[in-house]
Chains A and B, each alone.
Chain A
Amino acid sequence: MSNARLVVGPFNRVEGDLEVHLDIADGAVTSARVNAPLYRGFERMLEGRDPRDALTITPRICGICSISQSAAAARALAAAMGLAPTPQGARVAGLIHAVENVCDHLTHFYLFFMPDFARPVYSARPWHRQVVERFTAMQGSGARNAVTARAKLMHILGLLAGKWPHTLAIQPGGVTRRPSAAERVRIRSDLRGFRRFLENELFGAPVEEFIALTAQDKALDWGRGDAGLFLRLAGDLDLAQMGKGAGRYLSFGAYPGPEGHGFAPGLWQNEALRAPDTDAIVEDVSHAWMLGAPSHPSQGQTEPDLDMRDTAYSWCKAPRMGGQPMECGAFARQLIDGHPLARDMAAQGGGVLARVAARLLEIARTQLLMEDMAHGIDPDASFMQRADLPRDGQGVGLVEAARGALGHWLRIENGRIASYQIIAPTTWNFSPRDAAGTPGPLEAALVGAPVAAGEDTPIAVQHIVRSFDPCMVCTVH
């Protein structure tokens, strides 16, 4: 096959707008450029507003990571106020956040990622018939049951957060609603119902057994439930070798509480773990339709290039830590938290298999976290701490959204928001090139993806892109 160029879009079953430009030679991608083709300007909307408005506005950046945005805004405000949520307030905020993250993982697996394997291109594979039955878009029995299980798990959000998406329940000092003793047991009952779904359908076994996996080859032999179906086809199609990562991973740490994080923060590079240095973050705008100099988000600005210059190709800035692109998400989190299965998958390249299997692993582990958080709710305690907003100040809110590291950098002057900068997980993962020409993580992972003759929307490219579970509405915001 000779050299060719492809533009892939509309790219659906990702959250938001995505366009991928591919250079192809000899049946493989040689270079990729990733375009986030939507600009809304949330950072600009916030300037000049009452700082508390960030709690209403930022969740509406994204309808799928809404609570993550809430949590980051609440933490940035709390930092500016010199306030910490009460321990029970932090616990309930963590539970609310965990429910969203698990639901997002479930939506990704059943509705966004797996339907591609039901395509006719795989009709000769031995697992195809079963995948069609479970995962056909809008029809598959697994997809249907997952949608129901997700909706029922979200009853916890109806109770604690009023609704989903777009709640105001998470505040700098805790949460707006104290759960009663009866509500605590109802939440635990909802979680038992969700565990039933996980064990009957997704894992086909107790979640603890899946969590006990320590090696990629053992995981590929799992064989039970929808997870087993995925792992079987992943072995058959060698998804471990597809879309490998660059070995640099970032996590800000998930579900912080008085006793530490549910999943630890860290930076994984050169097969070693260290603390992430957020002072070393720079957002490069060389290939983004943005004006200004590369800067740390506390000094950053969002000035769109209305001319959309030809040398740029995305509204997404290119965040770098210590000059390097970073991959984030469930795989990064599980790897950094030290789970042996994630560590083994990292040693073997961290491709499509690793990203998706880590998400399943995280569903299982988060079920245990949620059960623990709910069990430990103490209705007699205080769920909200109060403090006044400073006239001038600044704060940073770092959280883990389902898709990875999310940061809000806030500066308050004269009682108003003077600057608000956001770096979302997919801003990291789907960043364009930087001034040095270094591609973003997806752009790098796509190089080498096979393209069959006649493919205009290459299936391997779709698997790799979706393995990141991108959220494009968060990306540019």
Chain B
Amino acid sequence: MNDNREQFEDEQTELLMAKLRSIQSQEKPDPKFALRLRAQLSGHMAREEKQLLTQNFNFMSRFKFAIAGAVIAAVALIAVLSGSDKVLLPGKQEIALAGEGAFGALTKVSVSAKGQGGGGGGPADAALPAALEAERSSAGFGGGSSIMPVPTNYKFVYAGEDFGIDQDKMEVYRRVKGFGSVDFNEFISQFAVQIFDAGKFGQSKLEYFRVAEDRDFGYGLNVDLKEGTINISENWERWQTPDRQCQTPECYEQYRLRPEQIPADEAVIAATNAFLDEYGIGRENFGEPMVQNYWKLDYERLSSSDKMSYYIPDVVSVVYPLKVAGAEIYDEGGNKNGMFVTYSVRVNRVSSVSELTNQRYEASAYDVETDVSRIKAIAERGGFRTWYPYSEPGAKTEIVELNTPFRGLVRLWHDLGGKWEDIFVPSLIFPIKSAADGFYGSSVIVPLVKDVLDSQPEAPIIKPMPLPGLDIPEAEVRPNN
């Protein structure tokens, strides 16, 4: 009897355990998750053993990337090649003093952004609002906006206080690019490459890589090892909002934004600040952020009917002005320059961060222009940018008044014959005091370094193209002085 009872209880226990097993989930880990986690762990292991990545640029740990282990290995190799005591991406600014004229003659300086200003540079560029591009091509010179302008010549007149240059030498800063590179042979040797002989490229260096988050509204991280820059951008495949599926005008019209849908500047800046803080991107090397609302300058001047058809950009661009040695950076158009963060109005989140660079610089003293009359003359020509006056009979002339200048640094690119150096040149920035409607731009820039000023051509002589059969005489047009 007792045996039967025990057997019965055993059978019941077996049944019970079977039922308990039946309510257990058979869920398996997602293979993508497994790969992603494995890659993350490789990074942790590398850090445990080699103490690689800096604490200051800790935003990379916030990303859940589908990073192949080999990419992390590449980063590990960079550290090994660079020396284990070197920081790869220091957040704290470091300036090393070099001798006078250490960067050579600064006679080949680009006056237009090579592509790294304003978020437009790098192999995988951050999106630049169309309105911002329009602004950059037209500032102060009457063209390039979405409205067909009347040909307008601007006559710049200095209306500020007396000023002087009390130094004959000033520091030019040069950004130290890159943080080493990875020997391609060591990198590729981890893989079995079958479609070509990888050994043929044995002397190559890994200069750039991109990784992406495979999730809705995930980001891509574009790392340029050679330039020493990082851009964060949309992983386009995972940012497919309905407006991006449009094929017809009706569809585009349906998703057109209205001005009231654009958040206030304060709200956008709060969101971009929060993003930077969340991702550990330090703001200590930047000045107060500001929203670039160039499209509003056009929009406000439109008639009601034209406003109805005006394209309002769906991203808001915020510039965080870079500071080098405490001075804010400008581009040659007089706009603040530095790190750019774009905010998508459609999905209410940051869509890109561009111009995250290492903060290592060298400083070298160069001769500066002290002749105030020459500086004023250049300012009253419109400053450093090339100026092409209109010669049409219908062109009008508008006065632009310039205010007392202040000192700042202008970001330029020094051409070394196919290689470009990122330099920051001491300059005078003349704020626009008053200007007619239609004038774009907030300031006029005059670099002070003699090499740079002396190498810039005078404003060109423009001859109108002769029109055969119309008997229009050629005429020479010279710029106003």
| A and B: interacting chains | no
Chain B: residues with CB nearer than 8 A to chain A?
none
